[in-house]
Structure 1
Amino acid sequence: MEHKPIRILIGDDHHHARQAMRLILGQDDHFEIVGEAKDGQEVLDLMETLHADIVLMDINMPKINGLEATKLLKEQYPQLKIVMVTVSDDISDLFEAIKRGAQGYLIKNLDPSIWLEYLHSISLDESPMPTSVAHQILKEFSSPTRDELANLTAREIQVLKGVASGLSNKELSLELHISEHTVKNHLKNIMKKLHLHNRVQLTKYAFEHHLV
């Protein structure tokens, strides 16, 4: 018996990213790419005529970003499955996408076989995600090693603990008796040493390494 292909719409403003997704999905004849969009508005416009089953949605796109487009699409097409596709390891972005109705997310540098397995599970309403996918994604989100933590100075560890406790730069400067400018410099150095990019990641790191 012939299977009905799963209709997929790709939304990503980068040509090479769309090309990579086409190559991955082309390995499995269960999937049919019905359209491609370069921004969130184009995703919304194409959905009106293409009626895809799954939208692969980049988070950062022009005109309407992926988060807002997800919210608008789910209001119009409640049955539509949306999977965020991102290079970002900012968990807050991904949680926000889930809150707005996305079924899940894929990180762009995951192995293609992981992509296909995950998209099959999404199309079949299987939950939770396959164990192999969960492990791969957790690995992508894994924190830096203890060796990197050892590179921090005593003052930098104090600042890191303060950030994880929810203190602002001003509050940190008062607590540590240093200027806000010095606090910012410490934060910049900490992020560079730990290969992190924002306070959310710093907080996650501090909790995982039992600093708070």
Structure 2
Amino acid sequence: MNTSRFRVLIIDDSDMAREGMRTILGSDPAFEIVAEGSSGEEALELTELWMPDLILMDIQMPGMGGLEATKLVKENFPYVKIVMVTVSDDITHLFDALKKGAQGYLLKNLKPESWHEYLKAIAIDEAPMSRELAFRILKEFSQYERPDVSESPLTAREKEILGLVAEGLSNRDISNQLNISEHTTKNHLKNILQKLHLENRVQLTKYAYEQGWMNK
């Protein structure tokens, strides 16, 4: 049985929103809320003080907003997973957040069970991108010329898995499609990230496009 707990920092300028997140996470013993803040500036200070595993970050805040705070937190604490929390599913803001280093996003009106499942997947690097987001990333990259690329260090199987990741498939979907175990898929993804010195699925999608493995 996995008894590890994920240390969570909540950053939102709304008292009501923070209370809601406390209630949601408090109903699952897998999460431990270590601190709360109401601005991007506090996000930086509290991350250094508490060294959380996961940050729930509001996008729109007075002063330093969530997007800039995400960029600075990831520059200084690259290991921290950041999930943007928003009332809107505007893909533009969410895409900007992912480009700055966030691992994902949650809508504030989702059921608590959805939060628990998604945040656990984020914390252990198993959360897939939505198909809409994968398409948005491809559309963004297709505006530019592909750079010259060197020979890829990936095996044929790793390239196949990377292509499926870039399409927005989850680890389970990839395993089912390739008829391999989820454990094998996870190990392949770990190897791919290590070989390419990348951190998340957004960066993997960008790499797949640059290599010419995705169609415009």
TM range, normalised to the smaller chain?
A: 0.5 to 0.7
**Other-structure match for 1:48:** 48
How many Å apart are 1:89 and its aligned residue? 2.5
Matches within 5 A, 1:73-88: 73-88=73-88
- TM-score of the superposed pair, with normalisation by structure 2: 0.59
Distance 1:5 1:66 in 2: 25
**Other-structure match for 1:165:** none
Distance 2:2 2:123 in 1: 17
Matches within 5 A, 1:60-139: 60-128=60-128
Matches within 5 A, 1:1-212: 3-128=3-128
How many Å apart are 1:2 and its aligned residue? 6.8
Distance 2:30 2:40 in 1: 25
Distance 1:70 1:34 in 2: 18
Distance 1:24 1:4 in 2: 18
- Higher CA-based Rg: 1
What are the superposed Cα offsets for residues 35-54 of structure 1, whole Å, 9 maximum, x if unpaired?
00011101111111100000
**Other-structure match for 2:157:** none
How many Å apart are 1:127 and its aligned residue? 3.7
How many Å apart are 1:71 and its aligned residue? 0.2
Aligned partners of 2:58 and 2:84 also within 8 Å: yes
Give the SS at the match of 2:96. helix
How many Å apart are 1:4 and its aligned residue? 2.7
Distance 1:115 1:127 in 2: 12
Give the SS at the match of 2:79. coil
Give the SS at the match of 2:82. strand
Q: Can you give the 5+ residue segments of structure 1 that lack an aligned partner in the other structure?
A: 139-212
Q: Can you give the 5+ residue segments of structure 2 that lack an aligned partner in the other structure?
A: 134-216
**Other-structure match for 1:185:** none
Distance 1:82 1:105 in 2: 8
Task: Count the aligned residue pairs.
Answer: 133
Aligned partners of 2:118 and 2:127 also within 8 Å: no
Q: Percent identity?
A: 57
- RMSD of the TM alignment (CA)? 1.8
